[in-house]
Amino acid sequence: MIEALTPPARGFPIEEFAQRLARAQSFMELNQLDALLVTSPQQVRYFTGFESQLWESPTRSWYVVLPAGGDRPVAVIPEVGATGMASTWLQDIRTWPAPVPADDGITLLSDALREIAGVGGRVGAEFGREVHLRMPINELDMLRQKSDVILVDGTDVIRRCRHVKSEYEIAKLRYVCQLASASFAEVPEMLQQEHTEITLAREFRNNISARGADSTPYLVAIAGKGGYENIVMSPTDRAIGLGDVLIIDTGATYDGYFCDFDRNWAIGNVDAEVVRAYESVWAATEAGIASAVPGATSSDVWRAIAGVLEGAGSLGNSSGRFGHGLGMQLTEPPSNIEGDATVLAEGTVLT
């Protein structure tokens, strides 16, 4: 019988969204922006609370404009989403009957940007690293021509806002990580039966879903004799057997927030070098955790981990980084890499 954990409440109070907007406005001032335009599912949900499975369809674009002054964002969205957006804290919701290929909301959005930012105003958009502008490039060109505003990179505002998690966000992250930990603890029992990578991944996904996870978009289950060759490919029909080292890496979600961590198992007996490698990685992880304190940098975390691995005889770092930020996306800034000067704060969440 699967023991249920008590989940945190879904959603956020309006005060949480008001605080997010206020932070965004302070960062807009630093970046000399008159407005911020967001288009991707995570950014729209972060600033509005709007969540829909229709994001899976590429047909329609969705726009939310955050004013540099004012108390709420403005939504410019397809009519099909009007009722859902009206259930959020937003009040100004402008719609069009998308799709309209000749002008798919661009005139409506242009008018909103001109009204909010002013003619010649600077509007930040998702132009930078690790963010994506979810609209056709041709329509972006049309927007530049019609809006009479200057579109610039607004990534810094988004990154600063999402870098520090609130108590509400941390509660959701903690819960989904607890779900994954509980499911990981069941893997030895799952392995009492014969499994391929695919069938084990399926049983693990069912287990974490039964515990309360909303979805498991990311699930790697890979095994190999004495070790595995990659940590990114999908499970296969390969049978898991004696002498294998198995990794399961999972990114499950609860109320829009991800966990992202893995566990390793040895099936039967493995070489002493495998055990030593495992112990070295464990020690390096503990060193990284100990170094992740407010005021430290992402590079400090990287250095703590790298120092232990190098001391244990590591042949080098081919993965590129030793962890990253975590939140509404499986991976978020910062990257724990050499030279990353991102300062960790109370409320920063890292893997």
Q: What is the per-residue pLDDT for 323?
A: 95
Residues 6+ apart with CB under 8 A from 226: 243, 245, 270, 271, 274
Which residue ranges of the chain lie beneath pLDDT 50? none
pTM: 0.95
Residues 133 and 74 in one domain: yes
CA atoms within 13 A on the CB side of 323: 29
In a domain, 186, yes or no: yes
Q: What is the per-residue pLDDT for 1?
A: 59
Q: Which of 211, 210, 215 lies closest to 175 in space, CA to CA?
A: 211
Residues 20 and 156 in one domain: yes
Q: What is the per-residue pLDDT for 315?
A: 75
Q: What is the per-residue pLDDT for 4?
A: 76
Q: Which of 297, 338, 52, 324 lies closest to 162 in space, CA to CA?
A: 324
Q: Which of 113, 207, 195 lies closest to 151 in space, CA to CA?
A: 113
In a domain, 278, yes or no: yes
Give CA–CA dist 305/290, Å, rounded: 10
CA distances from 272 to 190, 269, 279 (A): 25, 9, 11
Give CA–CA dist 177/154, Å, rounded: 31
Please report, for the domain that includes residue 194, its CATH number. Answer: 3.90.230.10
Residues 97 and 226 in one domain: no
Beta strand segments in the chain, E: 35-38, 63-67, 74-78, 92-96, 122-125, 150-153, 215-225, 244-254, 257-258, 261-266, 324-325, 332-335
Locate 335 and state its tokens.
Answer: 């990257």
Domain that holds residue 155: 14-163
What is the DSSP code string of 247-293?
EEEEEEEETTEE--EEEEEE-S---HHHHHHHHHHHHHHHHHHHH--
In a domain, 7, yes or no: no
Label residues 78-115 b or e (16+ Cβ within 10 Å = b).
beebeeebeebbbeebbbbebeeeeebbbebbbebbbe
Domain count within the chain? 3
Residues 337 and 241 in one domain: no
Q: What is the per-residue pLDDT for 2?
A: 73
Residues 231 and 248 in one domain: yes
